[in-house]
Amino acid sequence: MQHHTLSCCGGVRPSLPPPLSFRWSKIKRERCRRLPRCARIAAQLELKAPPYSLSSLEPHMSRETLEYHWGRHHRAHVASLNNLIAGTDLDGMGLDEIVVVSYNKGNPLPPFVHAAQVWNHDFFWQSIKPGGGGRPSGRLMELIERDFGSFDRMLEEFKRAALTQFGSGWAWLVYKANRLDVGNAVNPCPSEKDNKLVVLKSPNAVNPIVWDYFPLLAIDVWEHAYYLDYENRRADYVSIFLEKLVSWEAVSDRLDVAIERAAERAREDETRRQEDDTAVSHSEAVEMYLDSDTDDSEAE
């Protein structure tokens, strides 16, 4: 089983903010030189095949749907992405990083839609399997019950998100690590209990990693995902997806990675905080009033 962990390109955080003066055609080469795996310059991103045959999801999702959805839509996004990033400094980054960087804090650059749709579709194919459905167990089920009250209520919320995404888009189950995305504030007593499973929806190509969430499950609610099999009946498609296709094993494995990742980041934050404290205690008091200078140095 393959997973998308959110680590990419030498361990760069997906939340790494792009420089303020960011232009996608002028991404600084230095960014990449620091990252060993980026040695593969001009690496073409590849179209990943679903981990099952195209007809094996029938009758719930037809071979024809997969031939178009994977064979045309997904493939076209891979080709467009490779075209757009060729020769730019996005070339050679990991897909996660391309998604986050090209999202450009909400002013998406041209490659974003393709990068995000490649990510989303890779993730979607790995979210389902022949003979899927049923109920999750173990830690996943515990957290679902903790955060939604019951499995059925989570399903209800997921369906509602999928049905009320007006237009094209996605519905998600994500793991939300409760971080404060600002440099000058800390969660005074961080704990695993701050982290939550959350259902959300996103328009068109938008992927929750741009909001620093860790996706666990996704359903594509672009009409091309279900129109050949279900025509206008999105509700039927969403129900069948949950009853017959979803791979709770994949979701469960992703949750393990998400929890581990969140813990790792909490440790990194703690270490950084201790280093900062040490740095502040060693610095002269007057420096603390030099706002802009200290901000710059502390941002590193």
Q: Which is nearer to other proteins, 15 or 168 (CB)?
A: 168
Return the residues of window 99-158 that contact other proteins according to CB under 8 A.
113
DSSP classification of residue 219: E
The Cα 218–Cα 212 span in angstroms is 16
Least spacing, CB of residue 76 vs other proteins, in Å: 7
- Give the relative orientation of helices 151-163 and 138-148 as an angle to the nearest 10 degrees: 70
Residues forming a β-bridge with 128 = 246
When binding is defined by CB under 8 A, the residue of 204, 239, 252, 294 that contacts other proteins is 204
DSSP classification of residue 206: -
Q: Which is nearer to other proteins, 50 or 169 (CB)?
A: 169
CB burial class (10 A; 0-12, 13-18, 19+) of residue 125? buried
Least spacing, CB of residue 168 vs other proteins, in Å: 4
When binding is defined by CB under 8 A, the residue of 111, 169, 208, 215 that contacts other proteins is 169
Residues forming a β-bridge with 214 = 175
Least spacing, CB of residue 236 vs other proteins, in Å: 12
Residues forming a β-bridge with 197 = 175
Least spacing, CB of residue 267 vs other proteins, in Å: 39
How far from the centroid of its chain's Cα atoms is residue 131's Cα?
Answer: 25
Per-residue binding string, other proteins, 219-258, x by CB under 8 A, is ---xxx--xx--xx--------------------------
Per-residue binding string, other proteins, 53-72, x by CB under 8 A, is ---------------x---x
Q: Which is nearer to other proteins, 71 or 133 (CB)?
A: 71
Interface with other proteins by CB under 8 A: which range of 118-126, 197-205, 276-284, 287-295? 197-205
When binding is defined by CB under 8 A, the residue of 166, 282, 291, 300 that contacts other proteins is 166
Q: Which is nearer to other proteins, 204 or 252 (CB)?
A: 204
**Through-space distance between the first and last CA atoms of the chain, rounded to whole angstroms:** 36
Q: H/E element holding 203?
A: strand 196-203
| Contact (Cβ atoms closer than 8 angstroms) between residue 100 and residue 15 | yes
When binding is defined by CB under 8 A, the residue of 7, 56, 104, 168 that contacts other proteins is 168
Interface with other proteins by CB under 8 A: which range of 4-12, 176-184, 202-210, 250-258? 202-210
Peptide bond into 215 cis (omega under 30): no
Q: Which is nearer to other proteins, 120 or 247 (CB)?
A: 120
Supply angle C-alpha 21, 24, 26, rounded to 5.
70
Least spacing, CB of residue 164 vs other proteins, in Å: 8
The Cα 215–Cα 202 span in angstroms is 12
Q: Which residue's structure tokens are 């045959």?
A: 53
Could you tell me how many residues of this chain bind other proteins (CB under 8 A)? 19
Sheet holding 196-203, edge to edge: 196-203, 169-176, 214-220
Least spacing, CB of residue 198 vs other proteins, in Å: 20
Asked if 76 is part of the footprint of other proteins (rule: CB under 8 A), the reply reads yes
> In terms of DSSP H, where are the helices of 56-110?
63-68, 75-85, 95-103
Asked if 83 is part of the footprint of other proteins (rule: CB under 8 A), the reply reads no
- Note the residues at the interface with other proteins (CB under 8 A): 68, 72-73, 76, 113, 166-169, 203-205, 222-224, 227-228, 231-232
